[in-house]
Amino acid sequence: MAPLVPGACRGVRGVTHHWKQLVGGRPFDWGGKVDMTPADVATVLAKLARFTGHTRADADPYSVAQHSMLVSELMRRNGYSPNAQLAGLIHDAHEAILGDMSTPLKGELRESLGGAFVDAWASLEKHVDAEMCRIFGLRFGLFEACKPAIRKFDLIALEAERMAYMDPCEREWGTPKLPSECAFPGAQPWPWRHARDEFAGRFRLLSMSLI
């Protein structure tokens, strides 16, 4: 009998059952409960490279955790509530399960596969987003309501990150110009342990002020 591997095991009546091993060795069934703690999520996001690793070759990877901190900080500086700041902090937490699929790839798949891809991916993201809200103690309805604001500051963060961490490119990104209140992410990406600790610390601070 061939060894079972995550993502390809035979279940009842020979039906293929897809699953994923999480940090700590726990299994995740697609569409099921995400058995992770906030500390687990912080660790995974701190090790996950934004831009699928295509930042400057002479720099360490820029993590999804550091990006999430930037979005949350921009929301804080613009007077948003602790609840909204937490929504900003975990807006990409689903990537701890789904990975960081780049926006250009999503666009290409959307055009190639049409509504089938859009609906399937949106369903996966929504389920994992809801699970992350449960893990972090944030109401899912509030998270959904914060999405327009998150989108605004996500784009501002994207432009700041492009300037700080990406090589010059002959093509325009079409991102908005940076406002004066933007929290520039800094000259260098954080080491993953620092990114993990900053993310976890921001969560602990915000969790004491949730409504």
Read out DSSP for 118-154?
HHHHHHHHHHHHHHHHHHHT--HHHHHHTHHHHHHHH
Residues with Cβ within 8 Å of residue 190, at least 6 apart in sequence: 63, 65, 66, 198
- Predicted TM-score (pTM) of the model is 0.88
In tens digits, the chain (211 residues) has pLDDT values of 344 455 555 444 455 578 999 999 999 998 899 999 999 999 999 999 999 899 998 888 999 999 999 999 999 999 999 999 999 999 999 999 999 887 788 778 888 887 787 788 889 999 999 999 999 999 999 999 999 999 999 999 998 898 889 999 998 887 777 765 565 656 689 999 999 999 999 999 999 988 7
